[in-house]
Structure 1
Amino acid sequence: MPLKRTPPSTPTIKVMDTDTPVPTPTTSESEITFPFLRQNLHHCTSEPTLARKTSTSARKRKHADCDDDKLSLFMAELKDMIKEQNNRLDKVCSTVEDMRASFEFLAEKYEVMLNRINTLESDRLADAKYIKSLESKLESSERSARASCLEIRNIPKQPTENKVSLLDTFVKTAQVLKVHVERHEVKDIFRVKSKDLQSTTVIVDLTSCLLKEKIIKSFRSFNKGSSKLSTEHINIKGDTRRIFVSENLTASMKRLFFLSRELAKSINFKFCWTSHGKIFMRKKENSPLLQIYSEADINKVREDNK
């Protein structure tokens, strides 16, 4: 609130005689009139405030100079960091570009290889189909060639054996089975190679499939009697051995017939035999007749009789 100043009152001067001296005042008028003014001046804040403002400005200038140096240093470091990061980013971009080019190259090679693999797979399937057809034709051809052949097993080999003596042995065996065989009805007779040289299999190639079937049928009927066909029936000296007569099957059919017989034993099938180069199974008399063409048929029969 502004200080109201009241003008001092004019002192009353008394007129005195000239002979009377005027007393000289010892105290200044201002001191008398405004004693409070000096006191207020002593308590005025103008001078200290100016001093504080001056020192504050100096300190601010010093701080400003220090901050400018730090800011310049920080900016220089920041520029260096940005430059280094840009260099690294350029290297990363270059590496990524190289990788992209490599991936594109690999993708092209992959497409080429994939097309080649698909072509090879298609060719393989076609070749496999063609090979299977050739195997089927070869198997059919072998069956036709063996259609009139017989296998006779467990006939001991004689020291002076030849085709003539072997033919005589076969004729004696047919006579025991009550089948008349003329010598000219045998196209060829020989032994196949085997580890057991004393009882290798004898192959008889006949001129007629009917004659072959007749001998096999007679052999099965003979074995149903009181005795089984053996070396004793054809007057071969030495230990008595059973003689087996069967069709001359191909290698694949022999394996399939072996698997079929093993299956028949495991699932209690009573009959398993071959006829005209084909394999048949029957669980019991008057049961449905099952023909085995491949191993898939064996697996099917096994699954159906679990």
Structure 2
Amino acid sequence: MNEKQIDTNSAKAWMLASRPKTLTGAAVPVMIGLAFAARDLGLDDFGWMPALLCVLFAFIMQIDANFINDYFDFVRGNDDETRLGPRRACAQGWITPKAMRRAIILTTVIACCIGLPLVIYGGLEMILVGAFCVVFCFLYTTLLSYLGLGDVLVLVFFGIIPVCVTYYLQTDRFTFEVFIASLACGFVIDTLLLVNNYRDIDNDARAGKKTLIVRVGAEAGRTAYLCSGIMALVFGVAFLLEGHICAFLLPFLYLIPHYAAYRKMVRINKGKALNMVLGDTARNMFIYGLLLSVGVLLNW
């Protein structure tokens, strides 16, 4: 796709603004939660409607977060000519700020409409969960990412909440094994944020955005990226203790592409070429989610 030929507020522009590659991060936690639910319930008792609603809610909220990030970083002036990451819609003039504000309102409303029926399956507390998701979706870009809390939010909102709530909506309970899986998922998905912040370390430091990478430095940031993926496998010991050998062993295959991405990150070190590592990391996240889900479903 030739980005120079993108018409303002066109379908191409909106597709780029939605950042389709980031939807991996939304899909993986729900997939893992559904895999545990399918294993524990069996397909006869598995709820297909709440499963679909969880997937749609996660996707729309991710797109909403991308729009919010695009708009508010543009307003702050962070997406200037020094940006190393993929181009952003508002900064490039592909989407007008007014249109983006409307899109943020629309996607937020759509997400709430999709999530509201989950009250039928999980009770009124699902409204509180949804409200937290929406509020922190805004707080991440506007405040918390500048305080270096992005990695914590990833652990909570791309790990604990989506995995555990997806499972709860199917089974009406939580389990220790699912909670451990949610932590492992959060650490894997945090690798995407880590490599993104590693690439932007100089720009973030100038903008006063004190990400974890800015705080600890580039070398420690690379180590954090490697260790974050490894930590997910360490948490997998809990599956082994439960007697689920496949759920423990299969995810170790993830270590191969993860380590390869880490080595590429070290070799490239700086610059726009790190966007290749970003793409590799998004792919690796899906590989991990698929391996764990298959291992869970094999139930051996």
Q: TM-score range by the shorter chain?
A: under 0.3
Higher relative contact order (CA 8 A, sep 6+): 2
Q: State the structure with more CA Rg.
A: 1
Question: What TM-score, normalized to structure 1?
Answer: 0.26
Question: What TM-score, normalized to structure 2?
Answer: 0.26
Which structure has more helix as a fraction of its residues?
Answer: 2
Which structure has more strand as a fraction of its residues?
Answer: 1
